[in-house]
Amino acid sequence: MEKAFVAQRVAKKLFVTEAAVDGALAEASELMSEMLRARRDVNVSMVFADEAAVKMVEAIRALSEARTAMVAVHNELNEAKLRLGIRTKMDGENKPPHLSLERGATALREVG
């Protein structure tokens, strides 16, 4: 199988995994916020369910570390791709929709 197609298959899984980690981090953060709001809404002391809040902070920290690890994986896979002699990038057509640029948009801007 051609190396570029294999790399593309891996890249698709990488993007999905990155999105999943980001999504889990966002959901966990929202849960923490909801837990704090719920405690206030039922008018209980800050010590109520404090252990749950501590565990939630630990979970958010772990997800943050996972996100940092995924960034490192992304960078390592990019280096591996270059070592294999694959110079092409996935275009917007093949990236998951949340990672693609809008049609006609560019990440670069004209100057001068």
Counted domains in the chain: 1
Q: pLDDT digits over 95-109, tens only?
A: 555 555 444 444 554
Domain residues for 39? Answer: 3-85
Q: pLDDT digits over 61-97, tens only?
A: 999 999 999 999 999 999 999 999 998 775 544 455 5
Residue 104 lies in a domain: no
pTM given for the model: 0.74
Residue 9 lies in a domain: yes
Tokens of 90: 């996935």
Residue 48 lies in a domain: yes
Residue 14 lies in a domain: yes
What single string gives the DSSP state of each residue in 21-84? HHHHHHHHHHHHHHHHHHHHHTT--TTTTHHHHHHHHHHHHHHHHHHHHHHHHHHHHHHHHHHT
